[in-house]
Structure 1
Amino acid sequence: MRRQLLLGGALALLVVLPLSIKALRTSEQKAVEVATVGKRAITPSILASGILAFGSQVTLVSEVLARVGDVLVTEGSSVRRGQVLLRLESESLHAEIAQLTAARRQAELAVDRQRIRLEAAVSKLKRNEELHRHGMVDSLRFDDLASEVHLAEVELRNSQEAVRQSSALLAQAQLRLTKTEVRAPIDGIVTTISIKRGETAVPSAMSIAGGSLMVVADTRQLYAEIQVDESDIARVTAEHEATIVPVAFPDRLLKGKVETIALTPRQAPGQSRTYPVRIRLDPVPDLKFHPGMSARADIATAATAQRLAVPLQAIQYEGPSGASKANVFVVENSTVRKRVIEPGISDDSYLEVIKGLNADDVVVVGPAKTLRFLREGERVQPRPGAQKTAALGGPSTGEASR
């Protein structure tokens, strides 16, 4: 009898214990962080990277082959348009000009000589013309005199062409002489000097020694030259606002607007296509600017608007890729209920909710581990001081989800 009672008690314990554990688990409240759904200013945007640049930058190269005589500026010097920055040695060009000047004078003397010959030939032909009519000069002699006039005319024209040729060669040499003085093409600052006194300047568009003399930049206007991926370029238009963060100054936020968008893409080997976008930066008087600095750009793709939104941490996705549904856990009477939502645009912190939630709904936002294993109907307890409101805080920017 006693044995039967023990067996019955054991069986009852096996039945009651799981039910009791389940009941205890059901009544257990998980500590969670929550946020109240509300309206928030959302600015959809795209992220891209690039470099900082001056508004106008000119690389000066030599147009004549000559040795550098004087460098009249230093890096950082302010210059005005037309100011002489560098002089090349010009002795050989002066000698060439003297030679060509003498050659032109000789050609002019040849013209004078041929003109005199022509006048003499014409006068002789006229005297013999009357004699030819009276039969005193035979036709063969008269034809020879006429031919001498024509030849004299040709020789005169030839000498005149020689003068023009000499003048052209002299003008070219004089032009080359002016190019021995390298002048500033714009107002600005000398940012780079690539050659020293005594080195040879080489007229070349290639990156060889002596090919580049110096760089002058207009520093009054600053730009960011950003490379935008081809999948995002359709959402970027002129006058879109942008925030630029230089890598060298991560605590400085530079503001600007999109000015130009390239029509053709660029593609480096092994990389995707990108489109250069030029962003005009607002004046920043105390920025230590260096062209070529790497920078990160956040380009707004739509105007900021107040929209019903939830924190991104609250969103969970279920279903196959491409057809997944977004859902959140809503807290009702200390119990969580799963809600499927229709998402809209987003920034880097919040997601717009088109359908599925109402203002003042309370959603679970964390902790992430708890949220990951949370199930429908479980009881929760917001952690003291952890409640957040989606409507608080200023607008932020980030990658748009749509």
Structure 2
Amino acid sequence: MRRARGSWVPPRGRRARNAVPVPATGRAGNRRVTGDRGFLLAPACSRVFPKPFRFVHPFSMPPSALAARRPKPLLRTVVTLVLLGGLGWGGYKLWVQISPGLFGTKRVEKVAVTKVRTATIAEEIVAVGRLRAVFSTELRSEINGRIVKILAVDGQRVKRSDEILRLDQQDLLTQITEIERSIEAAKLRAQRARRDHERLLELQKRGVVTLKDFEDSRITYSLAENDAAIAEARAANLRDKLAKTVIRAPHDGTLLLRDLTEGQVITGAAAQNGGTLLGEVADLSQLMVRTNINEIDVARIKLADVARVRVDSMRSVLIAGVVKRIATSALESSSDRTRVFPVDVILEEPDERLRPGMSATVMFTLARVEDAPAVPLNAVFSTAESARYVFIKKGETFAVHEVEIGIADTRYIQIVSGLKIGDEVARSRPLEFEGELPVAAALPAVKPRSNKTKSTDPGPAPAGGDNSKPAAPPVRS
């Protein structure tokens, strides 16, 4: 079949597979592009390519275009060298880590050291608690009722017997009116029984009535008087309840009223849950912090010991306090089921900004030394026999050195003997001492005390001894 002049002829073979599209120049259409290096595919590719393209065969491209498409040898060389250098450095680091284990040699370890220096050390017991008034009374109603009037506001200064709120009295007033009528009826019955008894008494003297009738009149008279007395007792009880519908201040102080509303129904203190807490009347001129101390540390605290109190809302203010009360019996902590003892610390100079319920931190200072030789806590180790030792640096090696320690805080521990200022000790156990027990000397044995013979050996100090000689802090073994 003969094609018309100017029609498009699709490329065939290798020429079609290696055709490269390039933007066409000149007029668009279905005529051939002049020259032997390209052909126009506009009619067939008009749906795929919105603009005509010229496909150029690679073998017909100029040498400069082919050279630009080839990768540059310099760039290839640089990338190859960088990759080889990274692989070599990683292999070197891996060899340094595994070579000591492969050949049985010990790994070289850099042990951190520290110098013995002078420091001020204060051994303290830190506990948390809440502020409360030294003298305060909770307000609870003795009867159930509905609040009809609130006569005071929170934070108001009140005097003794000032009215704070009132409960509904209508029910009690109705009962009192009813019981008063019962009292009058009981008194009338008693008067009638008394007159009947007196009349029968006269007739009995003349022998007109029998002894049975006389005794019945006497008993009737006694029962009428008894009913009248019972009614009067009930009336007195209702009047007492009526007086309890008015909640009054038990003493002078500041009213700390809860969030109450008129019309709210409250329960009395005789209820199973202790009744509704209405508020508290507190004397804010004296405040204290009540904190819980565990059974190990409570033996080291004594009455009249000085403590420091820091309130969380005023971190920059440090208030002095005195221990005024240490509980004689322990309580069980609800959080971790441990035994704790409540301790009260009274603030000597309370600030006006302090309020009951604020969180506070109490610090009890047990012992304090100044300019004493000290090392960090992690530089002292311990054996099973409670012998303390350090690793002192001698040249490039370390040696075990036994020391005697004193008090400690959260950072440093006092060195009583065994080291001097400037000595360097390790802050961790060197590898050459792993799994060994360097210190063989143990503490001297304590002879048991006898009831007949008084021992001269005082033995080790107990954990709850005098504050001037607190128990040694725990160190690592």
TM-score (norm 2): 0.59
1:362 aligns with 2:425: no
Q: Which amino acid in structure 2 is aligned with residue 323 of structure 1? A: S
1:221 maps to which of 275, 286, 310: 286
Shift of 1:317: 1.9
- SS for the counterpart of 1:227 is strand
Deviation at 1:203, TM superposition (A): 1.7
Q: In the alignment, what sits opposite 2:205?
A: 126
Quick check: 1:331–1:363 contact (8 Å CA) kept in 2?
Answer: no
The answer on whether the counterparts of 1:44 and 1:399 sit within 8 Å (CA) in structure 2 is: no
2:149 corresponds to: 70
Matching residue of 1:265: 331
Code of the residue aligned with 1:356 in structure 2: it is G
Partner of 2:267: 202
Identity in percent:
23
Query: Is the CA contact 2:303–2:326 (under 8 Å) kept in the aligned structure 1?
Result: yes
CA deviation vs aligned residue, 1:89-132 (integer Å, no higher than 9, x gap): 2122122111111211211122211111111011011122xxxx
Q: Is contact 2:116-2:419 (8 Å) kept?
A: no
The separation in 1 between residues aligned to 2:423 and 2:227, in whole angstroms, is 94
Match of 1:294 in 2: 359
- How far does residue 211 in structure 1 lie from its aligned partner after superposition? 2.2
- Provide the aligned C-alpha RMSD in A: 3.5
145, 148, 155: which one aligns with 2:220: 155
**Partner of residue 403 from structure 2, selected from 300, 323, 341:** 341
Q: Given that residues 64 and 176 in structure 1 are in contact (C-alpha distance below 8 angstroms), is that contact kept between their aligned partners in structure 2?
A: yes
| Partner Cα distance (2:391, 2:377) in 1 | 6
Distance 1:330 1:286 in 2: 56
Q: Structure 2: which 5+ runs fail to align? A: 1-111, 432-469
Structure 1 contact 70–197 (Cα < 8 Å) conserved: yes
What CA distance in whole angstroms lies between the structure 2 residues aligned with 1:127 and 1:65?
59
Partners of 2:238 and 2:402 in 1: CA distance: 81
Correspondence for 2:386: 323
Question: Does the aligned pair in 2 maintain the 1:125–1:145 contact within 8 Å?
Answer: yes
Matches within 5 A, 1:158-237: 158-204=223-269, 205=271, 211-237=276-302
Question: 1:48: Cα distance to partner?
Answer: 1.7
Offset of residue 329 of structure 1: 5.3
Kindly indicate whether residue 353 of structure 2 is the aligned counterpart of residue 283 of structure 1: no
Partner of 1:157, secondary structure, is helix
Alpha-carbon distance in 1 for matches of 2:285, 2:167: 30
Distance 2:295 2:150 in 1: 45
Q: Distance in 1 between matches of 2:294 and 2:185?
A: 67
Q: Find out whether 1:238 has 2:303 as its counterpart.
A: yes
Counterpart of 1:8? none
Higher relative contact order (CA 8 A, sep 6+): 1
Partner secondary structure for residue 362 of structure 1: coil
State whether residues 308 and 320 of structure 2, in contact with CA within 8 Å, keep that contact through their aligned partners in structure 1: yes
Q: Structure 1: how far apart are the matches of 2:206 and 2:247?
A: 62
The residue correspondences of 1:91-110 to structure 2 (distance < 5 A) are: 91-110=170-189
2:318 corresponds to which residue?
A: 253
Equivalent residues of 1:118, 1:149 under 8 A apart: yes
In 1, Cα distance between equivalents of 2:273 and 2:235:
31
Q: CA deviation at 1:305?
A: 5.8
Contact 2:130–2:356 (CA under 8 A) maintained in structure 1: no
Q: CA deviation at 1:349?
A: 5.5
CA drift of 1:357 comes to 4.7
For structure 1, the 5+ residue unaligned runs are 1-30, 129-141, 376-397
In the alignment, the residues of structure 2 paired with residue 104 and residue 306 of structure 1 have an alpha-carbon distance, to the nearest angstrom, of 80
Q: Is contact 1:342-1:356 (8 Å) kept?
A: yes
Match of 1:253, SS state, is strand
Deviation at 1:300?
2.6
Q: Is the 8 A contact 1:348 1:399 kept in 2?
A: no
Distance 1:275 1:296 in 2: 16
Asked if 2 retains the 8 angstrom alpha-carbon contact of 1:46 and 1:400, the reply is no
- The structure carrying a bigger strand percent of its residues is 1
**Which residue is 2:373 aligned to?**
310
Structure 2 contact 378–427 (Cα < 8 Å) conserved: no
Q: What TM-score comes out, normalization by structure 1 length?
A: 0.69
Distance 1:352 1:34, change over 3 A: closer
Partner residue in 2 for 1:274: 340
Provide the secondary structure at the position in 2 that maps to 1:278. Answer: strand
Report the Cα distance in structure 2 between the residues aligned to 1:319 and 1:101, rounded to whole angstroms. 84
Q: Does the CA-based 8 Å contact 1:76-1:189 persist in structure 2?
A: yes
Contact 1:229–1:274 (Cα < 8 Å) also in 2: yes
Q: Is the 8 A contact 1:121 1:145 kept in 2?
A: no
Secondary structure of the residue aligned to 1:104 is: helix
Partner residue in 2 for 1:111 = 190
Q: Distance in 1 between matches of 2:380 and 2:418?
A: 14
| Aligned partners of 1:346 and 1:399 also within 8 Å | no
Q: Distance in 1 between matches of 2:389 and 2:126?
A: 23
